[in-house]
Amino acid sequence: MSIKPKDRFLNVNRLRLHYLDWGNDGCQPMLLLHGFMGHAHVWDDFALSFKTYYHVIALDQRGHGESQWSEDEAYSIDDHFLDLAKFIEMLDLKDLIIIGHSMGGRNALFYTACITGNVGRLILVDARPANNSKAVKALKHQLINLPLQASSFDEVLRAIQTIYPYLSLGICQHIASYGYKQIRHGKFVPKYDVRMSLHSDRLEYITENLWPFMENISCPTLIVRGKESSFLSREDARRMCRIIPQAEWGEIPKATHLPVQENPSAFKRMVSDFLNKWNEGG
Contact in structure between 127 and 236 (CB atoms under 8 Å): no
Triad 61, 62, 63: Cα angle to 5°:
115
Residue 79 domain-assigned? yes
Measure the CA–CA gap between 89 and 72, rounded to whole angstroms: 24
**How many CB atoms within 10 Å of residue 192?**
23
Residue 14 domain-assigned? yes
Q: Which residues of 97-125 are buried (b: 16+ CB within 10 A; e: fewer)?
A: bbbbbbbbbbbbbbbbbebeebbbbbbbb
**What are the pLDDT digits (tens) for 136-192?**
899 999 989 999 999 999 999 999 999 999 999 999 999 999 999 999 889 999 999
Q: For the packed helices 195-202 and 133-145, what is the interaxial angle rounded to 10 degrees?
A: 140
Measure the CA–CA gap between 166 and 259, rounded to whole angstroms: 9
Three-state DSSP at 216 gives helix
**What are the pLDDT digits (tens) for 73-93?**
999 999 999 999 999 999 999
Residue 176 domain-assigned? no
Residue 219: give the domain boundaries.
Answer: 6-131+210-279
Residue 235 domain-assigned? yes
Window from 23-37, 118-132, 195-209 with minimum mean pLDDT: 195-209
Q: How many domains in the chain?
A: 1
What is the pLDDT confidence band of residue 116, given thresholds at 50, 70 and 90? confident
CATH number, domain containing residue 68 = 3.40.50.1820
pTM (2 d.p.): 0.97
Contact in structure between 7 and 66 (CB atoms under 8 Å): yes
